[in-house]
Every structure is written in structure tokens, then in C-alpha cells.
Amino acid sequence: MLVRDFIEDSLYNPHYGYFPKQATIFNTDAQPIEFSNLRDSIEFQELVASKYEGYGSDSYEGPGRQLWHTPTELFKPYYAQAIAQCLVSEYLLKYFPYEDFIIYEIGAGNGTLAMDILNYLQEYYPMVYERTQYRIIEISGSLVKQQKRRLYNTHPCAKVYHRSIFHWKQREPAPCYFLAMEVVDNFAHDVVRYDLKTMQPYQGVVVINQDGDFDIVYTPVTDPLISSMLGIRERLGHPPPINRALRSSSFLRQTYANLPFAPNLSPEEYIPTRMLSLLRTLRTNFPRHRLLLSDFSSLPDTIPGVNSPVVQTRFRNTTIPCSTLLVKQGYFDIFFPTNFSRLRDMYEYLLSQPHSMKNPSDAFPSRTTPLMSSTSSLALGQGFFSSTYPDDRRTPLDGVASSSGLPVGERKSNVFTHAEFLETYADLTKTRLKNGENPMLDFYKNVKFLF
């Protein structure tokens, strides 16, 4: 099978996958951390370690408890309140009171982020809360039950769908906000290598021998998703990870290939093909969405390769990193860093592509609101006030005017560091320690936001 299929099987198979059967999300519900009572970051880390110990020690036979934490859980409810403030600020500026406040979240974990966002809206923005619809798309059956149990009685506006976002077919014509927090790192990637003589790409395929051992073999690219990913990357000017001189000169490639012990293929490169699937789903089924995505921009202890993942498990209370992707399915977490600058380029490129005309509903949102009164193509007037279209704006979605009534289009997404985002939207006084340190800012320096 393709490498991405092997990764998805390892992580999400309902019978033995890592997330359905092994993973446990660290939860501080019983006693959220009182940051103002802590002396410094050392005491904070000791407190977190003690909460980990509350889950019990690992068995000394087989893999241990696969426990991991997120900033949503560590800094609850203040981290989620920053997310809520970001979204509600945009909503109040652009859509209130004409449109409902619709939020989609994928991979909602314990439901902590959803609960804290809805609690915040209910307390501080009651008029917005009355117009809020919170929809979770969750692949894990056990987490679906947990999220429903946690949210449904407290917040009737919440609804949980048990399905993969890659199988989502329902179209949302209304403006909405789409959350992907600490989830795309577990999106499956494919492996490609290039023939150093011809620069032809090859796709990685996982095979198994009669002894049950895994290996990866490389074949010419035939998978449509890999082909699309490579084609988009070429159009965006994102080169493969090969020396520029080798890429540009066939003579140098031939000379290099003739050197003793020279490899005939380039190093392994992991490309985010499932991320491309997500962006296409957003483009097709959520045409008026605004994406807020956060995840790791770099990772330590990765396996060999370019943009390679961390493969790890817990054994006897210790996290063990591995040096290969070819491990027993279901017992190992596999997670990738995200190149946010390339992600932004790919995201904006896909959103700029014309809508398909196979279905008439693809061209115009299938509903009428006070913000959608235009009867002619908005694209016709996009350059009326200027000879050059602004670089930081998308082409207007036909049939949808901006909040000012002028067809200027949505502003494009930007990339923010973890600290930049929180300094903008969070109440940092809530997570400040006695000595002035702020772990919500100081931790997760390898995390970025796309918004």
C-alpha cells in the first residue's frame, strides 16, 4: 500500500489503530491549574509531571499508556478563550447580526476546546451565543461518545458528526469558521524520491515479505493525489529538496551518478498529500469558510528524510523515539511538522481556483441573506477603484459582497508564531506566574498558526 495508507491504517484503523485503541489525551478537568499560585516555570513543570503520575505507571509488558497533552488542556480555559476571542472578533466585524456564528472543528479530542469556547461566548457574548452553531467532525467513535456526553446537556447548539473529514460530503453555503487545532500533524504523508539522472519522481509503497517484515519500494508516480501535489508544488515554485546545481544540469547529475557508491535516488521526502485532501474539501464544501489552523512547525527526534515524522511510543514510563516508519501498526504515534509558508501558498492557490461548474450550486451560494443581494458578477467590479488588485486579498467569491458592500474579497491568510497569536488575542494575566514568567507564551515555541 502507499505510505499514506500505511500511516492512516496505523493511526486510525478502528480495530487496532493508535488513536481508537491506544491514545489517551491528558485532561486537567478535575483541577485546572492555578497559574498565579505557582512560583516559576520549574514548579509548573513539576505540577504537570505530578498530574501525569496520576494516570498510573505503565505495565512492564508491552507498550505503556500512550498519554499526550495539548495547549488546550494545559492552559484551560484561557487558551480556548484566545481562540474564541479571535473568531468572535472576526464574526462581529463581518457578519453580526445578519449571519449565524457557525464553527466547525475537526479532531476535537476530549471536547475541551469546544466546551471552553462555548462557555466563553455564553458568559461574555450572550447575543453571539444565541446565534452560535458548533459542529464537531470526529473520526474516533469513543471520542464522539465522550464529546456528546460532555457538550449536549450544557450546550444544545453543539452537534457531533462521527465521520472522517475526508469523507465529508455536506455543503455549507453559509460563512463559517473552521478549526484544526493540533490535528494536521497526524495527517498521513506520502514518500517521494527523485531519480538523480532523469529527475523523475517515484512514489513509496510499503510491502511485506513472507517473514512479516516491512520494506519500502519505489515505483513511478501513478497515484493521482501525489501527482496533483507535485504539480501544485511546481506551479508554486516550491523546488524538490535537491541541490540547485543538480536540478539545473543534466551533466552534473550524470557525473554525480557515476561516482563510486553514489545513490541513484534522492533522499526520502514526505509530502502532505492528506493536507491537500483537506484543503480541497474546504474549497468544495465550505466555500465561505475562514480557516484557523495550529500545529508544530518543527520537531526533534525525527526519522531520516526531508519533512520526516517523529515515530514514538511509551515503554516503561519512557517515551521512545524510533528511527523508522515501518513499525507495528497501532502501537506508535506518527506525527509530522508543517511547513507553514508552503501550506499558506498551497491554501491560497487552491482557493484562487475557479469553482467547478459541474453543479450549478458550486457557482453561487444556495441561500439569500441581506449580505448577498448582488445580482451581477462581483468579479466584474473588482478593479473598479484601482488599476491593480491588492495582493493581500482573494478574488471575490461570486455572489457574496464584503461587509462594506464593495467586492474587495477576503483578506488572505497569514502565518503567526504561537506567541504572536496569543499576545494578540489572549488575556495573558491569567497565565502569568509569580516571577513574571508566562508558560502559555514560553512553551510551544515550535508551534505556529495559520489564520
The tens digit of pLDDT for each residue in 240-266 reads 888 777 777 777 777 767 777 777 888
DSSP 370-428: TT----S-GGGGTTTT-SS--TTBPPPPTT---TTSS---PBPP-EEEHHHHHHHHS-G
- For the cut 60, the answer to whether the pLDDT of residue 333 exceeds it is yes
Lowest pLDDT segment from 87-101, 106-120, 382-396: 382-396
- Mode of pairing for the β-strands spanning 214-220 and 289-296: unpaired
Identify the pLDDT of residue 260: 78
* Rounded percentage of the chain residues whose pLDDT exceeds 90: 53
Are 131 and 97 in contact by the 8 Å Cβ rule? The answer is yes
Q: pLDDT class for 371, splitting at 50, 70, 90?
A: low
d(CA 8, CA 228): 19
Are 162 and 94 in contact by the 8 Å Cβ rule? The answer is no
Average pLDDT, the chain: 84
Q: pLDDT class for 29, splitting at 50, 70, 90?
A: low
Read off the C-alpha cell for 340: 507553514
Other CB atoms within 10 A of residue 176 CB? 21
CATH architecture of 25-187+275-349: 3-Layer(aba) Sandwich (3.40)
Distance of CA 372 to the CA centre of its chain: 30
Q: At 332, phi and psi to the nearest 5? A: -130, 135
**Greatest distance between any 2 Cα atoms in the chain:** 72
d(CA 379, CA 397): 8
d(CA 135, CA 286): 13
Distance of CA 163 to the CA centre of its chain: 17
- Mode of pairing for the β-strands spanning 201-208 and 214-220: antiparallel
Q: Which class for 119: exposed (0-12), middle (13-18), buried (19 or more C-beta within 10 A)? A: middle
The predicted-structure confidence for 151-189, as pLDDT tens digits, reads as follows 999 999 999 999 999 999 999 999 999 999 999 999 999
Residues in the chain: 451
Between the CA of residue 245 and those of 159, 166, 251, 259, what are the distances in Å? 54, 39, 10, 16
d(CA 397, CA 372): 11
- Structural domain boundaries in the chain: 25-187+275-349, 195-271
